[in-house]
Amino acid sequence: MWNYEKRLEYPVNITRPNAKIAQIIMTQYGGPDGEMGASLRYLSQRYSMPYRKVTGILTDIGTEELAHLEMIAAIVRQLTKGLSAEELEAAGFAPYYVDHTAGIWPTAAAGIPFNACEFQSKGDAITDLFEDMAAEQKARTTYDNILRLVKDPEVCDPIRFLRQREIVHFQRFGEANREECGKGKYKFKRCYSPDVFSFQPFFCLYSVPHATIASKIGFRLYPVSVKVYSTRGGTSGYTFRVSNPLSSIERKFAVKTFCDTFPIDFFNSPNRFVPSSKSRIINTFQRSLISISVVSTGQAGKFLSIKILISSQ
C-alpha cells in the first residue's frame, strides 16, 4: 500500500524554460538508467529477496525513486511550460511535441521509449543486488553527463541532489550485499583460515554467498553440480609451489682433517708441540636432496606443471 505526500523531495523552481535541456533531462524519466526503471527494478525485486532487511532497503529505495521520478517530471514540466510550438521546434523538441505536446512521457533522450528490458529481476539475491549497485552507478554517470551539458544553476541544483542520492543508494545496496548476503561461518572458515594451501588468501568478501543463503532460507538457489559460487568471475590464476626441504638452516659440523697434512711437516713445524688437530669445525649449509614443484594456472585455464629435482652432494 502506498500513500502520496503532496511535496517534492527536493524543491524544483525553474524560471527559464529551455526545451533543449528538457530533452536531455527527460532521459532520467524513461531512459535506460532512469528513475522509472530504477523504481520498478527495486519494487519488483523485493518479493523474492530472502533477507527482510534487504527487502526493507529495496522497498524504501524503490519508494524514494518514485519521488525522484516526480522531481524529474517537475523539472521537464517547468522547462517546457509556456513555450510556443515554434520555440519548441527551434530547440529540436518537435519530434516529441508532435506525439505528446507538452505531456510527460517516459522516453530516452534519443527518442527510444521506456522498456522493461532496461532492468532485471532475477530472483537471486546476489544477482539482483549487483544489478542494483551497477544501476545506481549508471544513473550517477548519467547525472554527471547532464551536469556537463547543462549550465543553468536552477536545473543543476536539483540534479546535483539526485546525483548524490544515487551514491547513497549505491552505498546502502553495497552494505546489504556485504552484511546480509556475505556473512556466515562458512565464509570465515574459507577466508580467514591460516592454511597455506588455501588458494584464496586475500579474496573473502563474496566468496560463498550462495552457501550462506542456502543455510538461511532452507533451499539451494544454485544447481546441484555447482558446489561453491564465486562472484569474482573467470578462471583464477594461481601458482602453488612446494619445495623440499622447506628451508635450510646453518649448522656446524666437523670435517676430518687428520692425514690431510703431510706427516713430516708436523714434525718439523713450530706447532709440533701443540695438540694435534684431528678435525676442524666449519660452518656450512645443509645440502640435501632438493626438489621443487610448481603448479600454475592462468586465465587460459591450462594447467602447467613443472617439477625440478636437483640432487647434489
Partner 1 sequence: MMCQMNQLSQMNQEQLLNFINVVSFQVIDTQLYLDSHTQDEEAIGHFNYYMDLRRNALQLYADQFGPLTIDTANPTNCWKWAEQPWPWEGGNC
User: Could you list the residues that contact partner 1 (CB under 8 A)?
Assistant: 1, 3, 46-47, 52-53, 55-57, 59-60
| Residue tagged 532492468 (cell numbers) | 119
| Closest separation in Å from C-beta 308 to partner 1 | 58
Count of beta carbons in the 10 Å neighbourhood of residue 10: 17
| Closest separation in Å from C-beta 48 to partner 1 | 10
Between 191 and 221, name the residue whose CB sits nearer to partner 1. Answer: 221
Between 20 and 178, name the residue whose CB sits nearer to partner 1. Answer: 178
Between 58 and 75, name the residue whose CB sits nearer to partner 1. Answer: 58
| Closest separation in Å from C-beta 208 to partner 1 | 25
| Closest separation in Å from C-beta 81 to partner 1 | 23
| Closest separation in Å from C-beta 172 to partner 1 | 11
Between 18 and 55, name the residue whose CB sits nearer to partner 1. Answer: 55
Cα–Cα distance measured from residue 204 to residue 229, given in angstroms and rounded to the nearest whole number: 12
Tell me the residue length of the chain.
313
The grid coordinates of residue 104 equal: 510527460
Between 125 and 155, name the residue whose CB sits nearer to partner 1. Answer: 125
Between 81 and 183, name the residue whose CB sits nearer to partner 1. Answer: 183
107 bridge partner residues: 113
| Closest separation in Å from C-beta 46 to partner 1 | 8
